[in-house]
Amino acid sequence: MKKYFTALCIVASLQLMAQDTFSIIALDPETGEIGSAGASCINIVNSNWDTWITDIIPGRGGVNSQAYVCIPNVNLEGAIARMAENYSPQEIIDWLMLNDACGAQNFNPDYRQYGIVDFDGLGGTRSAGFTGPLTDDYKEDRQGATYSIQGNILLNASVIDQMEENFNNTSGTLADRLMAALQGANFPGADSRCLASGTSSRAAYMVVYGPDNLPGAPDIRLVVPAQTSGIEPIDLLQGLYDDLTLDQGSFSPEPTFQLWPNPTKDFVGLKIPEAVIAQSIEIFDINGKQVLEKYENFDRIDARKFRAGLYLIKVYTNKGRYFVKFIKQ
């Protein structure tokens, strides 16, 4: 499988301490994939900022380390080393409580937040989390059999609620579900520091490893470094991911999926092949922002309020997901 790394606006930056916000780390028992996604209102323009938060051992498990962290994240390094020694997620957290190595906040683990998942080697999965009492409110970590979601400096509990709901109720690949989880937190002030700017956060990332990947060589790595105020990084990440799925061949070349007129100035119609039953469609602009969702009347899509530009239609059917594009003049 091809490896994909995409980053926006790559500029080097270095700080000794960072404070990071909401994330999910999860695995897929059927495919053996392990992935992580997250976002933060950090003001650091660095295309490698995801490595400060997450690390994954392909086929084994992964760790997210956030809240007050040192750069490099020495606690994350220690956690991954314990995972390589076959510690369970809870055993890793217990070890971290006794061996905090970050000088920020005087080596006090009560300022840290962790989410850990792994395969237990017996066909099962495990997860564990920790939220230090001295991390900033609102704070919470929440686990399921295959995931851990954690956040701090949040607007309220709805951030975790919506991330979990989207992850659990989305079908498709692990990457699809991770992206959906982040979209659950795509509202102003999800990271409360970004409330005034009207965005959820300033930076976002997603990384997914297959079971046979080498460490440091994931199948997917998408990174959006810190953006200027008012630009939504989760929308930018969605755009990168949509471009990636098209590049990987998810785009349906079927000529029977027809749009007319294309380009359009007002309305556009989508013709569905006779053998396909369309269930819903979602329309995204060039930045990955969803502008419309429909469950019927696909032959008449009102684009009058859309800005001029290229749009992507995701068509959900009984035979899978397809993509078609149109231009609004």
Enter the CATH code of domain 4-246. 3.60.20.10
Helices (H) and strands (E) in the chain, counts: 5, 19
End-to-end CA distance of the chain: 37
Which sequence spans correspond to the domains of the chain?
Answer: 4-246, 258-328
Q: pLDDT tens digits, the chain, 329 residues: what are they?
A: 445 555 443 333 333 445 668 999 999 999 999 999 999 998 776 778 888 899 999 999 999 999 998 888 999 999 999 999 999 999 999 999 999 998 877 899 999 999 999 999 888 999 999 999 999 999 999 999 999 999 999 999 999 999 999 999 998 999 999 999 999 999 999 999 999 889 999 999 999 999 988 888 898 999 888 887 788 999 899 888 888 776 554 444 444 678 889 899 999 998 888 778 888 898 988 767 889 999 888 889 999 999 988 888 888 887 677 778 888 88
| Crossing angle of helices 233-247 and 174-184, rounded to 10° | 160
Q: Which fold has domain 258-328?
A: Immunoglobulin-like (2.60.40)
